[in-house]
């Protein structure tokens, strides 16, 4: 029996990955991390979507220690989300160590479940400039988990080389575009669906949707070639 653990935030990308996984694995489990994030509504959104999609299990894990250590616009309400990069060249929404911690804990959970795949919606093609969304990072984490637990384990990244328009196409391929558009939470300001319309996450999401709707057939064809 094939089993997978999806790192699930309730956002567009992880929800699309979860939808795809349901058609590819016998058992799909999800793990959601509560780290005191700015858009805390995502925890309830993730719970609601997991129940609606009828996955095998959904674990919500308290990792608030990350909030104590990582200072970011996503962990401090007093820091406004900025469209400008910081002096180190990264967005101020970058949470240092977040994906290192998430993938480590997901790997431990996968070990306990007997799953041989962790699925995460990180993307290098059309992303927010986070270093822990890059393919090299994911491969390094996969190697560390395999060596550290002495067990076969793959970190699957279905969106790694897709742009946002192709990610919308993937949701549409599984007849779930409306669910992803209206029920997911990607907005840094915690607005479900199309979001606040101004934060970097909303702008990226909207541009992708507009590109897809403008020429859905061409985008779907480009997805098929991936």
Is residue 41 part of an annotated ligand binding site? no
Is residue 123 part of an annotated ligand binding site? no
Integer CA distances (angstroms), 30 to 52, 61, 102, 210, in order = 13, 11, 12, 29
Is residue 104 part of an annotated ligand binding site? no
Is residue 9 part of an annotated ligand binding site? yes
What region, left, alpha or beta, does residue 190 occupy, with left being phi > 0 and alpha being psi -120 to 50 degrees?
Answer: left
Is residue 12 part of an annotated ligand binding site? yes
Is residue 8 part of an annotated ligand binding site? yes
Is residue 17 part of an annotated ligand binding site? yes
Is residue 107 part of an annotated ligand binding site? no
Is residue 87 part of an annotated ligand binding site? no
Is residue 10 part of an annotated ligand binding site? yes
Known binding-site residues for ATP equal 8-18
Known binding-site residues equal 8-18, 187, 196, 199, 202
Known binding-site residues for Zn(2+) equal 187, 196, 199, 202
């Amino acid at each position: 029996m094939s089993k997978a653990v999806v790192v699930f935030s309730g956002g567009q990308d992880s929800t699309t990955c979860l939808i795809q996984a349901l058609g590819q694995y016998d058992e799909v489990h999800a793990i959601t991390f509560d780290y005191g994030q700015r858009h805390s509504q995502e925890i309830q959104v993730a719970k609601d979507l997991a129940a609606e999609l009828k996955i095998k299990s959904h674990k919500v894990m308290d990792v608030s220690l990350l909030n104590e250590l990582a200072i970011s616009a996503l962990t401090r309400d007093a820091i406004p989300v900025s469209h400008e990069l910081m002096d180190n060249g990264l967005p101020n929404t970058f949470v240092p160590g977040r994906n290192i911690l998430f993938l480590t804990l997901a790997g431990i959970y996968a070990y306990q479940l007997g799953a041989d795949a962790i699925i995460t919606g990180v993307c290098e093609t059309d992303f927010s400039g986070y270093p822990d969304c890059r393919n090299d990072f994911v491969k390094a984490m996969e190697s560390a988990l395999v060596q550290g637990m002495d067990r076969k384990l793959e970190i699957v990244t279905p969106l790694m080389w897709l742009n946002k328009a192709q990610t919308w196409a993937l949701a549409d391929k599984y007849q779930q575009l409306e669910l992803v558009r209206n029920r997911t939470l990607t907005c840094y300001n915690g607005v479900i669906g199309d979001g606040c319309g101004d934060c970097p996450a909303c702008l990226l999401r909207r541009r992708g949707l507009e590109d897809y709707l403008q020429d859905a057939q061409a985008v779907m064809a480009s997805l098929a070639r991936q």
